């Protein structure tokens, strides 16, 4: 009887652990109805619970005027995207109608909007960080950094994190913009911080991967990557993954604080600027070798590659077993995540360096022709 009870207890414990692991995986995915920030979630997994049509159609496009590097956010049926003109746009997801426009007064580069309950945040290339009223596009507050902002904001409770080319990672009060803390690195903070369990992780232009406590800005530890990094890290379990300008993708074990594998394609020798997406035990990441790479995360080995006609700086998104990404060849692609086989493509005719956002059965991406495209 006692042995049977013990076995039952072990079985229940195992079942709870399985459920917990599944819950953590789901939490790392963006919900089907929204995409609140760059890469969809604070862990930057680039994964969505949404589904799209097997052969998406172009529903509408909007001419924003200048090339778009910023990736969209989608919340409550509204698309938020930063245009190269310096305008933060709020567009109706269903119709493409402009709801409001906020003018930063500067250019907006790769910094992508993050949406809170009442405020949307974005940085510009003059180093100004903006908090904008969701309801009407009016200014709530701004915060001046010392150099351009290409990093995207991440909201953690009542704090918003943003990196700047002035070498600092900032934590600001989300309601007022007051400085909570800042952490100096030895290079530009280009990448977006990934957040989990109260820690913010940044892969640096100074070749150092840092774990920083969100509550007070205390640096908890470093891992030396050995390479200049423009990509943002993606978190899964006890690991972080990101590509570098040393033509590699790294997997870091956060407990042992060591590099557990380095992936490089034996057939090419080009940097990885794209940030990765995680799903099904694989990391999907674009390379400047014109390829999208699928990497087995357990071993760091190649599962497959898919060739485009130009570099892939766009960061992929995984949804319902498909990988969606843009290429500088002017095409938006959908691949089967298991096999790498192309299942759909759409030719925009201008380079796509921004990353897709997926929510509500729609995919949104901006192009170098200054247009925002919505498919469904």
On whether the CB atoms of residues 238 and 247 are closer than 8 A, the answer is: no
Report the length, in residues, of the chain. 376
Q: Tell me: the pLDDT tens digits for 98-122? A: 999 999 999 999 999 999 999 999 9
Residue 107 backbone dihedrals phi, psi, to 5 degrees: -85, 150
Strand partners, 61: 373
Instruction: Tell whether the model's pLDDT for residue 19 goes beyond 70.
Output: no
What distance in Å separates the CA atoms of residue 81 and residue 87, rounded to the nearest whole number?
8
CB 310 within 8 A of CB 289: no
What the chain holds in terms of domains, given with CATH numbers, is 31-375 (2.130.10.10)
Q: What is the DSSP letter of 30?
A: B
- pLDDT tens string 118-162: 999 999 999 999 999 999 999 999 999 999 999 999 999 999 999
- Compute how many other C-beta atoms are within 10 angstroms of the C-beta atom of residue 129: 24
Phi, psi of 62 (to 5 degrees): -130, 130
**37, 46 Cβ separation under 8 angstroms:** no
Q: What is the pLDDT of residue 111?
A: 98
Q: What are phi and psi of 17, to 5 degrees?
A: -65, -40
Per-residue pLDDT tens over the stretch 254-309: 999 999 999 998 888 999 999 999 999 999 999 999 999 999 999 999 999 999 99
Task: Write down the pLDDT at residue 7.
Answer: 46
Q: Which pTM was predicted?
A: 0.93
Determine the distance from the C-alpha atom of residue 200 to the mean position of all C-alpha atoms in its chain, rounded to a whole number: 14
* Residue (of 225, 194, 191, 187) closest to 208 by Cα position: 225
């Amino acid at each position: 009887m006692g042995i049977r009870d013990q076995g039952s207890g072990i079985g229940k414990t195992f079942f709870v652990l399985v459920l917990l692991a599944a819950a953590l995986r789901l939490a790392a995915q963006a919900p089907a109805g929204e995409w609140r920030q760059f890469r969809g979630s604070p862990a930057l997994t680039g994964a969505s619970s949404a589904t799209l049509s097997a052969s998406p159609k172009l529903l509408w496009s909007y001419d924003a005027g200048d090339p778009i590097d910023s990736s969209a956010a989608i919340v409550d049926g509204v698309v938020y995207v930063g245009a190269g003109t310096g305008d933060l746009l709020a567009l109706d997801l269903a119709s493409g109608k402009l709801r409001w426009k906020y003018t930063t007064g500067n250019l907006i580069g790769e910094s992508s909007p993050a949406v809170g309950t009442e405020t949307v945040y974005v940085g510009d290339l003059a180093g100004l960080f903006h908090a904008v009223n969701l309801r009407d596009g009016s200014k709530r507050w701004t915060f001046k950094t010392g150099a351009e902002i290409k990093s995207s904001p991440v909201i953690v409770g009542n704090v918003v994190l943003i990196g700047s080319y002035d070498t600092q990672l900032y934590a600001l009060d989300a309601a007022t913009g007051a400085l909570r803390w800042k952490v100096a690195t030895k290079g530009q903070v280009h990448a977006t911080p990934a957040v989990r369990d109260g820690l913010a992780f940044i892969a640096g232009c100074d070749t150092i991967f840092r774990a920083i406590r969100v509550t007070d800005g205390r640096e908890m530890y470093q891992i030396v990557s050995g390479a200049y990094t423009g990509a943002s890290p993606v978190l899964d379990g006890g690991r972080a993954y990101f590509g570098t300008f040393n033509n590699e993708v790294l997997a870091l074990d956060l407990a042992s604080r060591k590099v557990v594998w380095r992936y490089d394609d034996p057939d090419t020798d080009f940097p990885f600027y794209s940030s990765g997406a995680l799903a099904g035990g694989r990391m999907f990441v674009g390379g400047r070798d014109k390829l999208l790479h699928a990497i087995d995360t357990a071993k760091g080995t190649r599962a497959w590659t898919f060739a485009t006609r130009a570099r892939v700086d766009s960061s992929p998104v995984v949804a319902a077993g498909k990988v969606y990404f843009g290429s500088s060849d002017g095409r938006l692609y959908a691949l089967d995540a298991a096999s790498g086989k192309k299942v759909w493509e759409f030719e925009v005719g201008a380079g796509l360096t921004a990353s897709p956002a997926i929510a509500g059965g729609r995919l949104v991406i901006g192009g170098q022709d200054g247009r925002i495209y919505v498919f469904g």
